[in-house]
Amino acid sequence: HGKDYDTDALSEFRPIIYSNILKGMKVLADARRKLRVEWGDPNNQVYGDMILNFQSVQAIDTHLFLSYAECVNHLWQDSGIQEVYRRRNEFQLGDSTKYFLDNLLRVGKPEYLPTKQDVLHSRKATKGIQEYEFDYKGIPFVMVDVGGQRSQRTKWFQCFDEVTSILFLVSSSAFDQVIMEDRKTNCLIESCMIFETIVNN
């Protein structure tokens, strides 16, 4: 990240983390239904319906998140949701979902301030093109982060003029997962196709 975070900077990650948690649980609840996994506790159906009806908003404030915290906690403790989590290779789920759900009691406090570890686990989709400049041993580098979603890929090729090297990163944890856009294509197969497109451009 190239910098340390003061309290204000850490606070800016709070709505992102809240969103990661609520969206992650919504994905798990939806996958439970699609995979036909039974609830461990049938009473959790009410919480499942509540999270499935959650509509993502621009910024999730503390008050809104706390209104869902009990619901999310009940669902995460449910053996059906745990079974679905074990089958996460069958659908697209953020890598940090378990980290945040395991830390829900801490994150769910009204005075919660994200830690640096929380910031590293937080996920916000890259929209458009982000540039980050830094020096390493006196050599200037410009890292260009392009959105990974299919809808963002048409913007990539304008970034390749005067490029001396490309660092192509692939998530090794996604070897048995499918992409979010079609829920069929294997993530590594998709990455190989993207790499081939880039090097042959």
- 8 three-state secondary structure: helix
pTM strictly above 0.85: no
The answer to the question of whether 122 is labelled as a binding residue is yes
Q: Are 199 and 187 in contact (CB under 8 A)?
A: no
The answer to the question of whether 36 is labelled as a binding residue is no
The answer to the question of whether 149 is labelled as a binding residue is yes
Dist CA 114 CA 10 (whole Å): 6
Dist CA 44 CA 70 (whole Å): 11
The answer to the question of whether 106 is labelled as a binding residue is no
Summarised one tens digit per residue, pLDDT across range 17-34 is 999 999 999 999 999 999
Summarised one tens digit per residue, pLDDT across range 134-168 is 888 999 888 877 766 666 666 666 777 777 777 78
Strand pairing report for 139-146 and 129-136? antiparallel
Q: Which residue has the tokens 């048995």?
A: 176
H or E segment and range at residue 106: helix 104-107
Percent of residues, the chain, with pLDDT higher than 70 = 90
The answer to the question of whether 148 is labelled as a binding residue is yes
Dist CA 199 CA 201 (whole Å): 6
The answer to the question of whether 154 is labelled as a binding residue is no
List, in order of start, the domains of the chain with CATH numbers.
7-121 (1.10.400.10), 129-200 (no CATH)
Q: Are 117 and 68 in contact (CB under 8 A)?
A: no
The answer to the question of whether 127 is labelled as a binding residue is no
What is the sign of the dihedral through the CA atoms of 28, 31, 33 and 35?
A: negative
Query: Token pair of 197, please?
Result: 């497109």
pLDDT at 108 over 70: yes
The answer to the question of whether 58 is labelled as a binding residue is no
Number of helices (H) and strands (E) in the chain: give both, helices first: 9, 2
The answer to the question of whether 96 is labelled as a binding residue is yes
Dihedral in degrees, nearest 10, Cα atoms 121, 106, 91, 23: -90
Q: Are 97 and 24 in contact (CB under 8 A)?
A: yes
